[in-house]
A and B are shown apart, each in its own frame.
Chain A
Amino acid sequence: MSNLKRVALFVAGIALAAAAPIAGSAETIKIGVTQPLTGAVAASGNYVAQGAKIAESFLNASGGLLGKKVQLIIEDNKSNPKEAVATAEKLIVRDKVPALMGAWSSTYTLAVMPKLMEYGVPMVVETSSSGKITTSGNPWIFRISPTSAMEAQSFGTKVGQFNIKKANFLVVNNDWGLGASNQFQKMLKSKGIAVGVVETMDAKATDMSAQLAKIKAAGGDTVFVTTGVEQITLVLKQMKEQRVTQRVITTGGSSSPDQLIAQAGAAAEGSFHLLFFAPWFPGSAPNPEVATAFVNEWNKRGHNFAGLTEGFRGHDGIMTIAAAIKAAGKAEPKAIQKALWGVKVDGVNGDIAFIKQGPKGKESAQNIPNVYVVTIKSGKVALP
């Protein structure tokens, strides 16, 4: 008898444990997030996740969505494309999220994309900039970050004031770095500016001395660097060590100038950075109230100020998905996909709305974001 009782209790326990998440899910709308919380580009991924959580609490503070609370499920893709696929699959299959945001790097996003097609779930891409993402015919992709081509084009309108004669490139050896190098080279050549050497580095590499020796020997006045903030720190330090005096311009918006000032010190002096949000001047953002509210909440939570240039992407991405769920009136993948095409969101970066890109009939969606240039002057971030 007592054995039977024990078994019954055990079974009841399992049933309760199994039922609990189902009961929970009826009251919340889940949104899946895959970000590199650990590994080579962990800093950026954590900032994006922090920004996403701020959006979550903003949404819940104003009554949630469709009368339900919003719940983010954030998974760590470990700065690894294989893990990115695994996290997306887990979020879709196990957590049954109707929409995703991710996956930071172009390489992780490209790896995840076939899974979106397979399961029919839309993903808002918050950071990746490789052109391939919106031109490969995946109708589940909604990108709010600029492509490298857009970034290069936008910088092209300001390139005159830099008076560049010959530029070199040092980029991370993946879809992001190579894509940026191609687009910026194209832009420079169209302005009659010579391109010297194009060097690459592995995403995990810590020693760039060989590449820098080559860039130094190639001559030129500017080197365009595209990679995450950890590697930019190392590049700036090692340039100083090898007396490479070319001006550095980083692209891709992941340079986090404050972190560079803190970690690279004087080696960061005089470098220029292309960003998609300038948190030092939130009042001059296209939507000053949204930007200021976000920056204030970020500071209130005690997050690293240096992370704001990445963190805003998380906020804008989640707000975009939320606007679509609201417009769709239900949290279902297909309905959200349809609604995303019509959203107009006041984001931290600016107004978010989508245009069509890629092959006819299966277009991906692309937003046209704002690009800012800042510089580091006497240990402070300044407008050039």
Chain B
Amino acid sequence: MPEFLQHLLNALILGGTYALLGIGLTLIFGIMRVVNFTHGELYTFGAYMVFFFVMVLGVNFFASILLAMALGVALGALIEFVLLRPLRGADIDTTMLVMIGAWIAMQNLEQFTWTGIAKSIDHPFPLDPLVIGEVSVSWVRVFVFAFAVLLIAVTYLLIHWTRLGKAMRATFQDRETAALMGVNVKGIHTLTFAFGSCLAAAAGALLGPVFVVAPTIGDLAALKAFAIVILGGLGSIPGATLGGFVLGLAEELGAGYVSSGYRDAMGFLLIILVLVFKPTGLFAAKERIG
């Protein structure tokens, strides 16, 4: 029983960060119809920025996370402005190829800047874990989970309760009509991409101190993010949130009770099942690309 509870707790903590990764990606796809292959690199970028601020400049840990997120916004806006804006109206394949190119270029740039050797980031939390009965979890992971849930909530509120969110949803439903109603679609695109990038950078900034930081960490993160988005239904924020938790649970219980060798396969097995029985994902939004 304590083992099962520990697995559940691990899944919950892992799911929170997975959800955060998925939301940024699903937002960008839903509103811009762009398959963002640079998502994993923005994650890596966030992690390296925290490394830079905390370990090189000695900035406060919490301030560093906020700074990394702010720089994530800037980098996202830059990518949108330089690469995606000129390609608006281009077919999805062209955009995809450009984003794959950007992904490779960014990963190599990270490697050039920081070398291939993994870095570790100090955090101010105690090393001894938080113990609840039979189970335990590290303080830094509790913080990461809380921060992730906060960001997910903020995203949800932003989309549903603000004028900006309304404009985003309008663009998502029908770009042309939204433009006719006076929505600045170009601006919405830049903002959406910057916001999605910010969430990816935040995930990297939060998980960098939990794990280690290396130029290729974004690959696995992006793979999980894509899995979560497909699981939850493209473009759906509740879907991505739920998808994140479901993936965390599938991995944790799959590794715990089936075989750890197939831990990463569990998530994909689940995706196959979802796609077979509910091809639009768990929470598909009504408006989707063909």
Contacts and interface: CB of A to CB of B under 8 A. Distances in A.
Interface residues of A, number: 39
23 contacts: A37-B116, A38-B111, A38-B215, A43-B118, A46-B116, A200-B259, A205-B263, A206-B212, A209-B13, A210-B252, A213-B3, A213-B7, A214-B256, A217-B6, A230-B212, A233-B212, A240-B129, A241-B138, A242-B129, A243-B136, A263-B118, A263-B212, A264-B120
Interface in A256-272: 262-267
Contact of A46 (B117, B214, B254): B117
B124 interface: no
B112 to A, nearest CB: 10
B273 to A, nearest CB: 20
Interface string B73-92: 00000000000000000000
Given A173-B261, A233-B120, A210 B7 contact: yes
Nearest to A197: B260
Contacts of A211: 255, 260, 263
B204 to A, nearest CB: 12
B56 interface: no
B214 A230 contact: yes
A265 B128 CA distance: 12
Which of B10, B137, B141 gathers most chain A CB within 10 Å? B10
B251 to A, nearest CB: 7
B136 A206 contact: no
Interface residues of B, number: 41
Given A173-B261, A211-B260, A240-B127, 16 more contacts: A38-B216, A201-B260, A205-B220, A206-B211, A206-B217, A210-B10, A210-B256, A213-B6, A213-B7, A230-B118, A230-B214, A234-B211, A241-B138, A242-B137, A243-B136, A263-B212
Interface of A is mostly: helix
Contacts, number: 108
Interface of A: 37-40, 42-43, 45-46, 79, 173, 199-202, 204-207, 209-211, 213-214, 216-217, 230, 233-234, 238, 240-243, 262-267
A214 B14 contact: no
Interface of B is mostly: helix
Interface in B179-225: 207, 211-212, 214-217, 219-220
A61 B180 CA distance: 76
A43 B3 contact: no
B51 to A, nearest CB: 12
A214 B263 CA distance: 13
Contact of B116 (A39, A202, A206, A267): A39
